[in-house]
């Protein structure tokens, strides 16, 4: 599994978990985490496109 796949998996897991719970603070933290992973993917993917 490469870095992008790993980050995508982590983001997807966090998003799935956020849909299944009711604690607002935890949902916000999970979605923030997922967003951060997706931004990391964009940065890594951008570096690969320029190379």
Copy the structure tokens of residue 42.
């964009």
Our CA dihedral for 40, 27, 14, 50, rounded to 10 degrees, sits at -20
Q: Is the pLDDT of residue 40 over 90?
A: yes
| Predicted pLDDT of residue 41 | 96
pTM of the model: 0.86
Q: Where are the domains of the chain?
A: 3-49
How many other C-beta atoms can be found within 10 angstroms of the C-beta atom of residue 10? 17
Task: Kindly report the average pLDDT of the chain as a whole number.
Answer: 94
Q: Report residue 6's pLDDT band, with 50, 70 and 90 as the boundaries.
A: very high
Q: pLDDT (tens digit, 9 = 90+) per residue, 17-29?
A: 999 999 999 999 9
């Amino acid at each position: 599994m490469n870095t992008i796949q790993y980050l995508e998996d982590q983001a997807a897991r966090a998003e799935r978990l956020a849909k299944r719970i009711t604690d607002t603070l935890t949902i916000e933290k999970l979605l923030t985490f997922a967003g951060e992973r997706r931004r990391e993917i964009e940065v890594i993917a951008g570096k690969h496109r320029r190379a």
